Amino acid sequence: DVKVTQSSRYLVKRTGEKVFLECVQDMDHENMFWYRQDPGLGLRLIYFSYDVKMKEKGDIPEGYSVSREKKERFSLILESASTNQTSMYLCASSQLNGANQPQHFGDGTRLSIL
Amino acid sequence: AQSVTQLGSHVSVSEGALVLLRCNYSSSVPPYLFWYVQYPNQGLQLLLKYTSAATLVKGINGFEAEFKKSETSFHLTKPSAHMSDAAEYFCAITRSNDYKLSFGAGTTVTVRA
């Protein structure tokens, strides 16, 4: 079965810390995505990667960076965490062949910045 | 740019009653549309997708959605609600020429016994 695994379900960090959120997929998917989910706003795309070492900014990339050194792993990095980055973060993956391919999601990481 | 609008942030239904969740889209090209469900403390799970093969799409857990081009709508229905249907539901559309999705704000469904 399809599996997207996020390393932490809950995470508490302090303002100014560098924070790493990890995501691994076992489906050999080319595309991987990072979203943040906030009440009333739905999901907003932070970054997107369509291949190893390739990345593309989404709608809200400010304050974030990403790393994709291996096909199965996509990391989201908060360079200097701030309280307005407290949110639910969701990772997803999809196949490359066709825009009609659904995205498969992990269970999310609920991040609190104090 | 492609976008979706979900009408109603909260819907409350009685167990056994019809569930109707509304989604309208805006697209300059034939769209690909999706409905996802999110149960508490979980990620999103695909319910169904429209990819132009048929206008009435059947999904998992008894849900279905009908694509109506004339109304630019893709509403989700289930004839008889079950307590396990309590969740948040998201409509999404593929943006043109790439693999990114634009999501609606979500509709939370509460099922009353």
**pLDDT one-digit tens code per residue, A69-80:** 999 999 999 999
Structure confidence at residue B96 (pLDDT): 62
First CA to last CA distance, chain A: 37
In the beta sheet, which residues pair with residue B110? B12
Q: Which B residues, 46 through 105, put their C-beta within 8 Å of a C-beta on chain A? A: 46, 49, 51, 90, 94, 97-101, 103-105
Q: Is A101 on the interface with B (CB under 8 A)?
A: yes
Q: Which A residues, 28 through 87, put their C-beta within 8 Å of a C-beta on chain B? A: 31, 33, 40-45, 48, 50, 58
In the beta sheet, which residues pair with residue B33? B50, B93
Mean pLDDT of A81-94: 96
Q: Is A4 on the interface with B (CB under 8 A)?
A: yes
Alpha-carbon span A79 to A15, nearest angstrom: 11
Identify which of A4, A41, A45 has the shortest CB distance to residue B105: A41
Reading phi first (left if > 0) and then psi (alpha if -120 to 50, else beta), residue B39 is in beta
In the beta sheet, which residues pair with residue B64? B58, B77
pLDDT in tens, A9-39: 999 999 999 999 999 999 999 999 999 999 8
Six token digits for residue A105: 């999601």
3-class DSSP state for residue A93?
strand
Q: How far B80 CA lies from chain A's nearest CA (Å)?
A: 26
